[in-house]
A and B are shown apart, each in its own frame.
Chain A
Amino acid sequence: MSEPRTLSQKIWDRHVVAAGIGGDPDLLYIDLHLVHEVTSPQAFDGLRLNGRSVRRPDLTIATEDHNTPTVNQDQPIKDEISAKQIETLRVNTEQFGIVNYPMGHENNGIVHVMGPEQGLTQPGMTIVCGDSHTATHGAFGSIAFGIGTSEVEHVLATQTLPQVKPGTMAITVKGELNPGVTPKDVILYAIGVIGTGGGIGKIIEYRGDVFENMSMEGRMTVCNMSIEGGAKAGLIAPDETTFAYMQGRPQAPTDADWDAAVTDWKTLVTDEGAVFDEEVVIDAADIKPQVSWGTNPAQVMPIDGMIPGPDDFDDPNLANTASRALEYMDFEAGTPIKDVAVDTVFIGSCTNSRIEDLRAAAAVAKGRSVADGVRTLVVPGSGKVRAQAEAEGLDQIFRDAGFDWREPGCSMCLAMNPDKLQPGERCASTSNRNFEGRQGRGGRTHLVSPEVAVATAIAGHFAAPSDLN
């Protein structure tokens, strides 16, 4: 009998082309490489400079998402530098024989929404992308992680990456979630527990009843934010929920291949007796709807709480970071967060822009209206999500309530397109990062679930759906 292994160790071991080459890193095979316009141009340039080709264009797929506008996608992009970056991707993918879903194409969308939606993301795979939220794909029981541009070039040229084997971490959430608590709240709470550096050098496996009972889209929201806890990747063992979600997707296996695949995927679980380097156990009952109050994703609080002060932290580092954050966010410790008004509400990003997110958001918006003076954006994660939402009439619910219904893309998650905050503006956002200036220079971001985002838009200040009458 071999040693019991964790899920991530099993998947890792399957992909080692050469162990410990020239020292410690393993040469790891990459099953799928996702590419977008922002982190790839210098990589393609590198290939050309060295006379190299793309080893497996068939395992590489591109989409345009980061800098694309969310209105008038049928017209040329106005921002010249953005237009050039998109044009560069089109030329590069054409020259190297890579499929690209251009802006406006029905399969176009945020890279981490598009992959799973197409059935490209499958259990047991290794998946990389020049984007740190690649861990999203871990929801299917794959090892998926973000890489830099030099690594993008490396994967294009060799379909492999030299990688040091990460450590293992388990985050187990036990019990049943309180009513109104969403997957976003679970992951925000967990990051609050482990801190922004808690997962560095490790792959997190999310375990326990809460994740077993969670939908695929909820699992994607959770795995998506693994990087905010510093982790290399995050994953969840595949199960019947996973298989049901995948079956029938355009690139999912069919017939005999499907049966063989499912048989194999069922072996992708952490063995009884396998030991994690670190284990964190959370009681589901402790989790309330969350809001981030500071400038990193570990600075979170329950929505019915008061903004903490530096004195609330024993660790001098955390106290220090807290006082800087309070200054940037223009906050006084002790203020109830529900008393804080917002200027903007953003519903979108690879964390929360899938159909379930939009359904949940629309359910809160239905029959209500956005508070005066609050700007809103609802940005579906992909062309498919947009079409589905429109077929279900969700766009109409949003419009009737006064929300601005947009075309797909990353949008105000990173403010590379015209969707930006102005200096000093405060935003309730369903995205994943509340860093200084992330949504526009001087902007103040609060991370929340789609349900809280909508309730906040309607109330004009932070609110949970249960606060609305």
Chain B
Amino acid sequence: MKAVRIVSGTAIPLNRTDVDTDQIIPSDWLKRVERTGFEKGLFSEWRDDRDFVLNQEQYSGASILIGGLNFGTGSSREHAVWAIQQYGFDAVISPRFADIFRNNCTKNGLVPVAVTEDINAQLMEAVQTDPTLEITIDVERLTVEAPAIGLETTFPLDSAVRERFLEGLDDIGLTLRYASDIDTYESDRKPWMPAQA
């Protein structure tokens, strides 16, 4: 994973609640065995609509996606995170993320920024009014700032996850430091648990 300290830029307001991962990347796209090329599938069922926010020119070049409540519910497909990233987003803001989606974000360096419903509504509205609004997300200080509207707030991230973002660390490499603990744990496996010959 590449290191992420600051995400700074404009945002796209996706003003819908319960955006599930089937919407983010429909199942037709899941047949691929590669890890790249998913940007075309992002919200593909909505992109035929010329008015859909991703198609609105004033929002092109945005690096932050602002979603509604319960973002990323549903299927565990990590392809949803890959699609959002490969389209050009480095962070997603929402008042509440689904667990698996949030986990998947943290494995790929896509910053999940959980803010209060009030702040989310404020940002959504501000970006709808002014698509050029600059937003800065600081992973070191865990802050979100939009100076033009006088907004400054914080967001939560476990210290371990924050560390991995900042250092761009490989999760598996970190866990392998505990190899001997894993060995010890395994020596106690209950004899009746299933194992394949």
Residue of A nearest to B169 (CB): A22
Q: Are B194 and A23 in contact (CB under 8 A)?
A: no
Chain A residues closer than 8 Å to B196, beta-carbon distance: 57-61, 98-99
Contact A150/B178 with A197-B70, A257-B192, A437-B26 known, Cβ cut-off 8 Å: no
Cα–Cα distance between A437 and B46 once the two chains are bound (Å): 10
Among listed A2-10, A152-160, A169-177, A280-288, interface-contacting one: A152-160
Interface size counted on chain A using CB atoms at 8 A: 88
Q: In chain B, what residue has the closest Cβ to A260? A: B192
Selected contact of B175 from candidates A24, A50, A158, CB within 8 Å: A158
Q: Is the CB of B194 within 8 A of A32?
A: yes
- Interchain CA distance A296-B76 in the complex, whole Å: 16
Give complex CA distance A197, B179 in Å.
36
Task: Give B30's nearest chain A residue, CB to CB.
Answer: A38
Task: Return B193 CB to nearest CB of chain A, in Å.
Answer: 6
Asked whether A146 is an interface residue with its Cβ less than 8 Å from the other chain, the reply is yes
Which of the residues A22, A84, A120 comes within 8 Å of B163, measured between beta carbons? A22
A98 to B195, CA, bound (A): 11
Instruction: State in angstroms the CA–CA spacing of A415 and B45 once bound together.
Output: 14
Which B49-80 residues sit within 8 Å CB-CB of chain A?
68-70, 73-79
Query: Provided the pairs A58-B197, A160-B175 are in contact, do residues A24 and B160 lie with their beta carbons within 8 angstroms?
Result: yes
**Nearest B-chain residue to A84, judged by Cβ:** B33
Contact, CB under 8 Å: A23 / B31? no
Residue of A nearest to B77 (CB): A39
A275 at the A/B interface (Cβ < 8 Å)? no
Query: With A23-B163, A197-B96 known to touch, is A148 a contact of B107 (CB < 8 Å)?
Result: yes
- One of A210-218, A317-325, A349-357, A399-407 at the interface: A317-325
B103 contacts which chain A residues (CB < 8 A)? 147-148, 151
Provide the residues of chain A in CB contact with B159, threshold 8 Å.
22-24
> Complex: how many Å from CA A164 to CA B100?
12
Contact across chains for A415 and B104 when beta carbons are under 8 A apart: no
Stretch at the interface among A124-132, A235-243, A366-374: A124-132
Report which of A148, A162, A321 forms a contact with B77, defined as CB distance below 8 A: A148
Q: Is B28 at the interface (CB under 8 A from chain A)?
A: yes
Number of interface residues of B (CB under 8 A): 62
Interface residues in A67-118 by Cβ distance below 8 A to B read 67, 79, 81-82, 84-85, 88, 98-99, 118
Q: Check if B40 is an interface residue, CB within 8 A of chain A.
A: no
Distance of B169 from chain A, by nearest CB (Å): 9
Contact partner of B74 (CB less than 8 A), chosen from A157, A158, A433, is: A433
Structural contact, B20 and A416, CB atoms closer than 8 A:
no
Question: Could you tell me if B76 and A25 are in contact, using CB atoms closer than 8 angstroms?
Answer: no
Docked complex Cα distance between A31 and B161 (Å): 24
Check if A150 sits within 8 Å of B69, measured CB to CB.
Answer: no
Contact check, A164 vs B158: say whether CB atoms are below 8 A apart: yes
Q: How far is the CA of A98 from the CA of B196 in the complex (A)?
A: 8
Asked whether A230 is an interface residue with its Cβ less than 8 Å from the other chain, the reply is yes
Q: Note all chain A residues with C-beta closer than 8 A to B176.
A: 157-158
CB within 8 A of B78: which of A67, A149, A253, A296?
A149
Indicate if A388 sits at the interface (CB-CB under 8 A).
no
Q: Which residues of A contact B116 (CB under 8 A)?
A: none
Q: Beyond the given A27-B175, A437-B22, please list 7 additional residue pairs across the A-B interface where CB-CB is below 8 A.
A: A22-B160, A23-B159, A23-B161, A85-B33, A99-B196, A148-B100, A414-B75
Can you sample 20 A-B contacts with CB below 8 Å? Answer: A24-B160, A27-B181, A32-B193, A38-B31, A57-B196, A66-B30, A67-B31, A85-B31, A85-B33, A118-B194, A148-B81, A148-B103, A149-B79, A154-B171, A200-B70, A200-B96, A230-B99, A296-B73, A433-B20, A438-B22
